[in-house]
Amino acid sequence: MSTARKPALLPCLALAIALLAPRVAPGDDAPKAGALVIVGGGGMPDNVRDKFMALAGGKAAKLIVIPTASEDADKKDEEEAYLKPWRRYEPANLTLLHTRSREKADTAEFARPIAEATAVWFSGGDQNKIIEAYRGTAVEREFHALLKRGGVLGGTSAGAAIMSDVMIRGGNPVAEVGRGFGFVKNAVVDQHFLKRSRMNRLYGVISAHPELIGIGIDEGTAFIIEGDRWSVVGRSAVLAFEVGKDGQPPRFASFTEGDRGKYPATGLPTPERSRQAEDE
């Protein structure tokens, strides 16, 4: 669904859309190679984690977990805490990869595990710590190579913020903006979206970058991009919006679990019509 409103109504509109958005039945289209699982933070439902691991290859998955966003990532006694949630899936390989040294991150030896992986997961914390360690290094190049060869990149909270090229570094209601990894080219991603009332913050960023859309992901919810397809898994909502063009008001859309559709190169994600709606 899409709804036009004046910017002054943004906070109320966000909640209304999230609560009232219609569900769209899943389609039967096969996913394309390469996927992003972008989670809005908070507790992660099992079906979100299940979806990520299915895309990663299930028991054949070779998963890299990157805890660099966390202040505790340097503590050896905390390493198992980052790996434990994934052990029950019994992946073929499960590796923790972390450094704060850009020089180390730019070596082929350090980045090699990513070249052999099917998936990378970015834990939460401070997105700036991830960017400071890896942007412009061999590690970042391997992230993009993994996605290109059909792997999956996923992350929660800070691990979601890094997905877009224009990245929100912090601040609310006025955002501080920097550069992310650019796995998502046409959007700015924000997380903890409804829980932390970040509608105006994200709208301010896309107002400064009107060529981009905003994708706000609430806690416990994943926005998944597989090639030119998108879907939502989780317990809350994803809001997408763009500024008004040529004198038109801004456009909004809200999606919840089960919604899916076409992810275009520009403009808002396009939802599929449910079979029930087509029959009526």
- Contacts of residue 114, defined as CB under 8 A and 6 or more positions apart, other chains included, come to 64, 97, 120, 139, 142, 143, 145, 146
Interhelix angle 199-208/10-20, rounded to 10 degrees, is 110
How far CA 16 is from CA of 5, 19, 201, 212, in Å, comes to 12, 5, 18, 23
pLDDT of residue 21: 41
Distance CA 214, CA 209 (A): 10
Distance CA 34, CA 3 (A): 31
* 5 pLDDT above the threshold of 70: no
More reliable by pLDDT, 26 or 98: 98
- Which residue, among 167, 171, 155, 158, has the nearest Cα to 126 in the 3D structure? 158
Torsion of CA 112, 116, 117, 123, to 10 degrees: -10
Residue 246 pLDDT level (bands cut at 50, 70, 90): confident
pLDDT of residue 247: 81
Distance CA 6, CA 98 (A): 44
* 35 pLDDT above the threshold of 80: yes
pLDDT of residue 2: 41
The dihedrals phi and psi of 245, each to the nearest 5 degrees, come to: -120, 145
pLDDT above 70 covers a percentage of the chain that reads 85
| Cβ proximity of 157 and 222 under 8 Å | no
Does residue 156 sit in helix, strand or coil?
Answer: strand
pLDDT tens readout for residues 119-141:
999 999 999 999 999 999 999 99
Q: Which of 15-24, 61-70, 251-260, 262-271 has the lowest mean pLDDT?
A: 15-24
pLDDT tens readout for residues 250-280:
999 999 999 999 999 999 999 996 433 444 4
pLDDT of residue 4: 40
pLDDT of residue 33: 64
State the pairing for strand pair 3-4/119-122.
unpaired
* Mean pLDDT rounded to a whole number for the chain: 89
pLDDT above 90 covers a percentage of the chain that reads 83
Q: Which of 7-11, 23-27, 53-57, 253-257 has the lowest mean pLDDT?
A: 23-27
* 82 pLDDT above the threshold of 60: yes
| Cβ proximity of 238 and 21 under 8 Å | no
Q: Which of 21-25, 87-91, 210-214 has the lowest mean pLDDT?
A: 21-25
Residue 162 pLDDT level (bands cut at 50, 70, 90): very high
**Identity at 19, one-letter amino acid code:** L
Residues 76-99 as b/e (b if ≥16 CB within 10 A, e otherwise) read: eeebeebeeebeebebeebbbbbb
Average the pLDDT over 176-190 and give the result. Answer: 97
pLDDT tens readout for residues 97-120:
999 999 999 999 999 999 999 999
Distance CA 240, CA 244 (A): 13
The H-or-E segment that residue 62 falls in is strand 62-66
